[in-house]
Amino acid sequence: NAGVTQTPKFQVLKTGQSMTLQCAQDMNHEYMSWYRQDPGMGLRLIHYSVGAGITDQGEVPNGYNVSRSTTEDFPLRLLSAAPSQTSVYFCASRMSDYNEQFFGPGTRLTVL
């Protein structure tokens, strides 16, 4: 199993550009989540999904969109990038509330 994979690993954007961070998992996990990690602020939940076709907002959803058309994929879209979105983004998946959450390797995003 590849586990949780994320692409790209690094990305530089200009303010106002849009892009999609890709996330995929091959463990047949129902739950998938996106977090951003910023110094001194830990991991903050952006959006999450409990199954294909179901998504919900986390702690910091503004400026981001998600969709879950398949169990495997959970892309995160930045609609109009802002410098405040400079961060490291982690995708994660788990089978349910009672299971370990597995993290991807992260995407380091810089918005100029």
Q: Is 77 one of the binding residues for another protein (CB under 8 A)?
A: no
How many residues of this chain interact with another protein, rule: CB under 8 A?
Answer: 25
Distance of CA 22 to the CA centre of its chain: 8
User: Which tokens go with 64?
Assistant: 């981001």
Q: Is 93 one of the binding residues for another protein (CB under 8 A)?
A: no
**Binding string to another protein for residues 5 to 34, with x set by CB under 8 A, is what?**
--------------------------x-x-
Measured CA to CA, the distance from residue 27 to residue 1 in angstroms comes to: 7
- Of 13, 21, 25, 35, the residue at the interface with another protein (CB under 8 A) is 35
Radius of gyration of the chain (CA): 13
